[in-house]
Amino acid sequence: MKAFLSTKEVAQLLSINEKMVYTLISEKGLPATKVTGKWIFPRHLVEQWIETNTINYPDATFQLPPYHGLLIIAGSNDPLLDRTINLFNTLYSDHVAVFGNLGSMGGLKALRRNLCHIASSHLLQDDEAEYNFDFATQELDAMPVMVNFCKREQGILVKKGNPDGISSAADLARSGLRIINRPLGTGTRLLLDREFKKAGINGEKIEGYHRDVHRHLDVGLEILAGRADAGPGIRAVAELLNIGFVPLRWERYDLMISKERFFDEGIQSFLGLLQEDVFRNLIQDKAGYDVKLSGKMIYPGRNSRQVS
């Protein structure tokens, strides 16, 4: 199977004319590059783009079995979530929580297909005020229960001391800079692309734009190793690795649960843990997190309220 597709081959794949392919590049973010002087399309990124933009799925062919001690969480990754899962497994020896790192959109799709109990997500809506609700409406038959896990500071990871003088996403387009990216379907990639669009920048032309890694920590490690100058990520990783950080915004990082499974024992135990001191102790002396809303239900239009 070819690793790269031509414009004609993409048009055939999507059953459209070639002119429409150029429109999809400029207006819909179809992954493409002009390294060879002509447009070429990494096949795996085109396939990811198609999946990410899919809005209608067939009904799931099976249901999650009755809860029997295995709690499945899937979606956007976060170091604090990793530590919380470890804490849950330590405190509740009759249960096992596992995590699938699928990105925010991947978590929603897993929830849609009954592959997980909880989906973690931080997808910024077009109004740039709310998170996740519009995406859940598009992906799911019914609005899930939305519970906040935390708020966290999202931005750009840079070298220690920020020797390149990066102050915004627009600076990443400067000649000579290499970035490392997050995959399509992640909330972090969505935010970076939004920042590029507001700055009038074509991210496709930035060196490293199509090179992605699957965890915030991996972005930081690429910068620490000198293989990239910058990349999108959260402050917590910059603090952990002792590298630089350029803030973009505080974001809401939520957990979504179908109403049918909300009262499962493992889910209730996990959500209850988020309001305990033992959870809050996990972020002592760690910058980049706010847990005031943790464990609280979130409703559209009331994202700043602590609703129990």
Taking only the tens place, the pLDDT of each residue in 251-295 is 999 999 999 999 999 999 999 999 999 999 999 877 999 999 999
Task: Give the pLDDT score at 61.
Answer: 52
Q: Where are the domains of the chain?
A: 4-52, 70-153+252-290, 154-250
CATH (one of 3.40.50.1980, 3.40.50.300, 1.10.8.80, 3.40.190.10) for 154-250? 3.40.190.10
pLDDT single digits (tens) 132-174: 999 999 899 889 999 999 999 999 999 999 999 999 999 999 9
Segment 35-40 mean pLDDT:
77
Provide the Cα torsion 26, 30, 35, 37; round to 10°: -50
- What pTM did the predictor assign? 0.80
Distance, in Å, from the CA atom of 207 to the CA atom of 294, rounded to the nearest integer, reads 37
Distance, in Å, from the CA atom of 25 to the CA atom of 32, rounded to the nearest integer, reads 7
250: β partners: 153
Segment 113-117 mean pLDDT:
95
Q: Is the distance from CB of 101 to CB of 214 less than 8 angstroms?
A: yes
Percent of the residues in the chain that have a pLDDT greater than 90, as a whole number? 70
Per DSSP, the three-state class of 41 is strand
Which residue type does 272 have? G
- Please check the confidence at residue 236 and state whether its pLDDT lies above 50: yes
At the fourth CATH level, the homologous superfamily of domain 70-153+252-290 is Periplasmic binding protein-like II (3.40.190.10)
pLDDT single digits (tens) 163-178: 999 999 999 999 999 9
- Please check the confidence at residue 52 and state whether its pLDDT lies above 70: no
Task: Give the pLDDT score at 305.
Answer: 42
Element containing residue 97 per DSSP (H, E)? strand 96-101
Domains 70-153+252-290 and 154-250 alike in fold: yes
